[in-house]
Amino acid sequence: MFRTIFVVILTLTSVSVWAQVGYVSGNVTGKNGEAIEGVSIFLSQAEAYTRTDGSGFYKIEVISYPDTITMSHVGFRDKIIPLREDVQNLRTTLERRTEEIEEVVINTGYQKINKEHATGSYEHLSSEQLNLQTGTNILDRIEGMSSGVSFEPNKAETLNPIKVRGNSTLNGPQDVLIILDDFPYPGDINNINPNDIESITILKDAAATAIWGARAGNGVIVLTSKKGKAGQPLSVDVNTNVLIEMKPDPFFEPRISSADYIDVEQMLYRNGFYDFDIMLNPYTQAAFSPALEIFVQTKEGLISKQDSTMAINSLKDVDLRRTYRDMVYENSVTQRYGASIRGGGRINTFNAGINLDRTMGHLSQKNDRLNIKLDNSINITNSLRLDLGAYFTDNVSRSGKPDMNSFRIANRTVPYIPLFDMWGNELAVAHKYRPEFIDTIGNGRLLDWRYFPMSDWENSPETVKRREFIANVGLRYQVTDKVGVSVKYQRQSQTADTERRYLEDSYYARDLINLYSQIGSDGNIISAVPEGGVQNWQQMDVTAYNIRMATDFVHQWAAHEINIYGGWDIQEVENRLESGTRYGYRIDPLTSTMVDVTKNYPQITGGQGLLPYQNGLRRNINRFVSVFGNASYGLNERYYITGSFRRDAANIFGLSTNDKWKPLWSIGIAWNLHKEHFMEHWNVQRAKFRATYGKSGNVNPAKSAHPVVNFYSPRPQLNYYRAGRVTTINNPSLRWEQVSTLNLGLDLTFLNGLVDVSADYYHKRGDDLYGLAPYDYTNWGLNSTIERNVASIKGHGIDLSMKIRKQWGEWLWQPGLLFNIYRDEVLEYYHPEGVVYRPTSGSAVSPVVGKPVYGIQSYRWAGLDNRGNPQGFLGEEKSIDYNALINVLPMHVDSLVFSGAAQPVVFGNLSNGLHWKGFSLDFNISFRLGYYFRRGGINYSSLYTQGNGHAEFADRWQKEGDERITDVPSMVYPNNQMRDTYYLSSETTVERADNIRLQFINLAYRLKDNYAARLGMRTLTLSVNGSNLGVLWKKTKLAIDPDAIQPQRVFTVGLRAGF
Amino acid sequence: MKKRNAIILIVTFFTVIGCKDFLDQKQNFAYSDGSSLSDIQAILDDAEYMNRRTPTFPQAASDDFFLPENAFNGRTERDRMLYMWELVDYTFPNDWANLYFQVFNANLCLENLDVLRPNITDTRSWEETYGAALFFRAHANYWLVTTFAKAYDRDAADEEPGIVIRTTSDFNVPSFRSSLRESYDHIEADLRKAVRLLPRQVEVPLRPSQAAAYGLLARIHLVKREYDHAALFADSALAINREVLNFNDVGLNLASNLPFSEKYFNEVVFYSAIGVNTTSVAHPNNGRIDSILYNTYHNDDLRKQAYFLPQGNGYRFKGMYIESVNLCFTGLTTAELLLTLAECKIRQGQVEEGLNLIDEVLMNRFKYDSYEPTPLMPQEAALSFVLEERRKELLMRGIRFADIKRLNAEGRNIELRRIVNGKEIIIAPNDTRYAMPIPLDVTQNSNIEQNQY
Whether residues A207 and A312 fall in one domain: no
Tell how strand A872-874 and strand A1019-1034 pair up: unpaired
Contact A734, A790 (CB under 8 A): no
* Residue A647 located in a structural domain: no
Degrees to nearest 5, angle at CA A139 with A138 and A140: 90
Q: Is A890 on the interface with B (CB under 8 A)?
A: no
* Residue A476 located in a structural domain: no
In whole angstroms, give the CA distance from residue B303 to residue B317: 10
Residue A162: which of A172, A171, A173, A174 has the closest Cα? A174
Contact B201, B240 (CB under 8 A): yes
Q: What is the pLDDT of residue A153?
A: 60
Reply yes or no on whether the pLDDT at A88 is more than 50.
yes
Domain end among A211, A230, A249: A230
| Region for A95 from its dihedrals, namely left if φ exceeds 0, alpha if ψ lies in -120 to 50, beta otherwise | beta
Query: Which chain B positions have a beta carbon within 8 Å of A566's beta carbon?
Result: 9, 12-13
Whether residues A149 and A80 fall in one domain: no
Q: Band of the pLDDT at A15, cuts 50, 70, 90? A: very low
In whole angstroms, give the CA distance from residue A253 to residue A271: 29
Q: What is the pLDDT of residue B4?
A: 60
CATH architecture assigned to B37-243+254-443: Alpha Horseshoe (1.25)
Nearest CA-CA distance, residue B260 and chain A, Å: 11
pLDDT tens, A662-693?
778 999 999 999 888 888 888 888 899 999 99
In whole angstroms, give the CA distance from residue A308 to residue A552: 84
Query: Which chain B positions have a beta carbon within 8 Å of A272's beta carbon?
Result: 69-70
In chain A, count of helices (H) and strands (E)? 16, 55
Reply yes or no on whether the pLDDT at A384 is more than 70.
yes
Whether residues A148 and A11 fall in one domain: no
Q: Is A603 on the interface with B (CB under 8 A)?
A: no
Q: What is the pLDDT of residue B363?
A: 95
Whether residues A304 and A415 fall in one domain: yes
Q: Does A726 contact B34 at a Cβ distance shorter than 8 Å?
A: yes
Query: Which chain B positions have a beta carbon within 8 Å of A777's beta carbon?
Result: 92, 96-97, 100, 441-442, 445
Whether residues A224 and A112 fall in one domain: yes
Whether residues A223 and A307 fall in one domain: no
Q: Which of A715-724, A920-929, B32-41 has the lowest mean pLDDT?
A: A715-724
The mean pLDDT of A121-130, rounded to a whole number, is: 88
CATH number at residue A128: 2.170.130.10
Q: Band of the pLDDT at A100, cuts 50, 70, 90? A: very low
Q: Band of the pLDDT at B282, cuts 50, 70, 90? A: confident
Nearest CA-CA distance, residue B344 and chain A, Å: 34
Q: Band of the pLDDT at A159, cuts 50, 70, 90? A: low
β-bridge mates for residue A113, sequence order: A106
Reply yes or no on whether the pLDDT at B438 is more than 50.
yes
pLDDT tens, A744-802?
999 999 988 899 999 999 999 999 888 888 899 999 999 988 888 889 999 999 999 99
Q: Band of the pLDDT at B5, cuts 50, 70, 90? A: low
Domain end among A37, A61, A93: A93
* Residue A649 located in a structural domain: no
Q: What is the pLDDT of residue A99?
A: 45
- Nearest Cβ partner for A625 among B19, B316, B446: B19
Q: Band of the pLDDT at B429, cuts 50, 70, 90? A: very high
- Nearest Cβ partner for B312 among A279, A774, A775: A279
Average per-residue pLDDT for chain A:
87
pLDDT tens, A199-241?
999 988 888 777 888 778 788 899 999 888 777 788 899 999 9
Q: Band of the pLDDT at A909, cuts 50, 70, 90? A: very high
Q: Is A811 on the interface with B (CB under 8 A)?
A: no
Kindly report the backbone phi and psi dihedral angles of residue B131, in degrees, each rounded to the nearest multiple of 5, phi listed first.
Answer: -60, -40
Q: What is the pLDDT of residue B20?
A: 64
Whether residues A276 and A160 fall in one domain: no
Q: Which of A371-385, A528-542, B250-264 has the lowest mean pLDDT?
A: B250-264
Domain ranges, residue A435: 258-318+403-458
Find all residues with CB under 8 Å of A309, minimum gap 6, and list them.
none
Cα separation of the two ends of chain A = 11
* Residue A428 located in a structural domain: yes
Nearest CA-CA distance, residue A835 and chain B, Å: 6
In whole angstroms, give the CA distance from residue B16 to residue B18: 6
* Residue A950 located in a structural domain: no
Whether residues A165 and A88 fall in one domain: no
Distances, alpha carbon B283 to alpha carbons A372, A567, A705, B275, in Å: 59, 64, 41, 11
Q: Does A775 contact B24 at a Cβ distance shorter than 8 Å?
A: no
Q: How many Cβ atoms are within 10 Å of B267's Cβ, its own excluded?
A: 23
Reply yes or no on whether the pLDDT at A18 is more than 50.
no
Q: What is the pLDDT of residue B2?
A: 55
* Residue A632 located in a structural domain: no
Nearest CA-CA distance, residue B183 and chain A, Å: 15
The mean pLDDT of B416-436, rounded to a whole number, is: 93
Query: Which chain B positions have a beta carbon within 8 Å of A721's beta carbon?
Result: 41-42, 45, 47, 206
β-bridge mates for residue A426, sequence order: A420
Q: What is the pLDDT of residue A866?
A: 93
Reply yes or no on whether the pLDDT at A6 is more than 50.
no
The mean pLDDT of A391-399, rounded to a whole number, is: 95
Kindly report the backbone phi and psi dihedral angles of residue B112, in degrees, each rounded to the nearest multiple of 5, phi listed first.
Answer: -65, -35
pLDDT tens, B48-82?
999 999 999 999 999 999 998 888 887 888 898 99
Higher pLDDT, A567 or B33: A567
- Nearest Cβ partner for A779 among B166, B262, B441: B166
pLDDT cut 70: percent of chain A above it:
94
Run of H or E including B177: strand B177-179
Whether residues A20 and A150 fall in one domain: no
Q: Per the structure, how many domains does chain A have? A: 3
Kindly report the backbone phi and psi dihedral angles of residue A651, in degrees, each rounded to the nearest multiple of 5, phi listed first.
Answer: -85, 60
Distances, alpha carbon B271 to alpha carbons B204, B226, B252, B331, in Å: 9, 24, 19, 5
Q: What is the pLDDT of residue A272?
A: 85
Q: Where are the domains of chain B?
A: 37-243+254-443
Q: Is A782 on the interface with B (CB under 8 A)?
A: yes
Reply yes or no on whether the pLDDT at A103 is more than 70.
no
Nearest CA-CA distance, residue A603 and chain B, Å: 12
Domain end among A192, A212, A230: A230
Whether residues A310 and A434 fall in one domain: yes
Query: Which chain B positions have a beta carbon within 8 Å of A717's beta carbon?
Result: 323
Q: Does A833 contact B4 at a Cβ distance shorter than 8 Å?
A: no
The mean pLDDT of A793-816, rounded to a whole number, is: 92
Whether residues A126 and A62 fall in one domain: no
Query: Which chain B positions have a beta carbon within 8 Å of A567's beta carbon?
Result: 12-13
In whole angstroms, give the CA distance from residue A637 to residue B15: 35
Q: Does A887 contact B172 at a Cβ distance shorter than 8 Å?
A: no
Q: What is the pLDDT of residue B150?
A: 96
Residue A146: which of A176, A181, A109 has the closest Cα? A176
* Residue A509 located in a structural domain: no
The mean pLDDT of A47-76, rounded to a whole number, is: 80
Query: Which chain B positions have a beta carbon within 8 Å of A724's beta carbon?
Result: 32, 34, 39-40, 42-43, 45-46
Whether residues A86 and A119 fall in one domain: no
Higher pLDDT, A169 or A812: A812
pLDDT tens, A362-375?
999 999 999 999 99
Find all residues with CB under 8 Å of A836, minimum gap 6, and list them.
A886, A887, A888, A889, A890, A891
pLDDT tens, B201-218?
999 999 999 999 999 999
Q: Which residue of A has its CA nearest to B171?
A: A779
* Residue A410 located in a structural domain: yes
Contact B81, B60 (CB under 8 A): no
The mean pLDDT of A113-130, rounded to a whole number, is: 86
- Nearest Cβ partner for B13 among A566, A731, A887: A566
Q: Does B171 contact A779 at a Cβ distance shorter than 8 Å?
A: yes
Nearest CA-CA distance, residue A337 and chain B, Å: 41
